[in-house]
Amino acid sequence: MVKMNRLMAAMAVAGLAMPFAAHATDGMFSSGYGMTANGMGGAATAMAEDAFGGANNPASMAFVGNRLDLGASLFSPRRSASVYQGTPSAYSESSDANYFIIPEFGYNHMVTKDVALGVSMYGNGGMNTDFAPMANGYNFFGGKGNLGVNLIQMIVAPTASWKINDNNSIGIAPLLAYQQFTAQGLSGFTGFSSNPTHMTNTGTDSATGVGVRVGYMGKITPTLTFGAQYASKITMSKMSDYSGLFANQGELDMPENYSVGLAWKTTKDLTLALDYQEINYSGVAAIGDSSSVPLPFGATNGPGFGWQDIGVWKLGAEYKYNDNWTLRAGWNHCDNPVTASNVQLNVLAPGVIEDHITLGGSYTTASGNEWTFAYIHAFQNSLSGAGTAYPGGVPTPYGTDTIRMYQDTVGIEYTWKL
């Protein structure tokens, strides 16, 4: 009963905090899920060390034992945008939305020595911006007042995993998703919308959806482990309040992705992990369609943010320093999903980060429980493209637009061994 009360309390805390989630480093995906993965550049497809298999690889849950992981991160993305028409800058502004709390929760229970049931809760998002207007009251897009969007995504992933034998496992995790979205300051674009009254400043709308993640994990040798996972596109219900913004009358699905990974225990104390991940943004019209599609916003196959599919490399190292301390470090590199021809619209979501370094560690207490911490720095990157003005509602080339971003994240997690 004590363990069940602890589990319910932890889920309640995570559920109440999750609406503040807004995390993005590899495009709109986090570079890693769980503090162990965050300390290792996100490399987790072939690792079995925590209860975040629903986010990383559900097959790993068969090897992690009984545990409850509860943590939170402070995420600080710094975004700015400029338009240049000769020298000096015609307009330059930084987003005022700079700090977000990212909670996380994982639970795993070994039903038998070969079967595990659990749940992972994690957040995505990151299209969170708030740009103040110029002195004349107009913003970067020619609308009145502040310009920005807020996207929050929560995924609850129940997991089931089975050991086929001592060295191999498979797993499955239904992905139950909830998202909220708000946009403001886009009135300068309403003349290009299929539903102008449902494009901007309509408050917060929400959507739900379902997908699935499947995974495999196998020990190739006593020191080398291979992992693979595939997550389908999460098909979301439409957000009617923004049917004049997102393609297909308010449809914003979550893209499919897959990854493969290796974990090599080079010595009894040192493990190296390497993942490669593909994220298919082009499969979601509102994200992948070009912003210059000759159709109004909100139309079937209408304009989107123009994000391309990306590949992500994740490299991590874990060193068991002594019986109490385990140290971690990592590197994460992803392609830039934003292309130069789509820079202007991506002022709203400048997901241009490419490189991250990470540090982390765990401390095992006398009771056998653990404190785990992680730090991520995403190096500043920028992208420029031709700008457009809309005098009298007519698209007219105007200067050069530039978007920039860098990020810092620090997090801590506590683990109960049950």
For the chain (418 residues), the mean pLDDT of every run of 10, in chain order, is 45 42 74 96 97 98 98 92 69 85 94 98 80 86 90 94 98 97 93 95 97 98 98 97 97 97 98 98 96 94 96 98 98 96 91 96 97 97 85 72 94 97
The token pair at 245 is 């913004």
Return the pLDDT at 24: 59
Return the pLDDT at 85: 65
Cα dihedral across residues 260, 222, 168, 328: positive or negative: negative
The pTM for the full model equals: 0.92
What's the rounded Cα separation, in Å, for the pair 294 and 201?
24
Dump strand ranges (E) for 365-395: 370-389
What's the rounded Cα separation, in Å, for the pair 5 and 24?
32
Query: For the chain, what is the largest distance between any 2 Cα atoms, rounded to a whole number of angstroms?
Result: 70
Count the neighbouring beta carbons within 10 Å of the beta carbon of residue 291.
18
What's the rounded Cα separation, in Å, for the pair 195 and 32?
37
Determine contact, residues 288/339, Cβ cutoff 8 Å.
no
Q: How far apart are the first and last CA of the chain?
A: 12
Cα 329-334-337 angle, rounded to 5 deg: 150
Return the pLDDT at 299: 97
Q: Is 364 exposed, middle or buried (0-12, 13-18, 19+ CB in 10 A)?
A: middle
Return the pLDDT at 393: 61
Task: Read off the DSSP letter of residue 396.
Answer: E
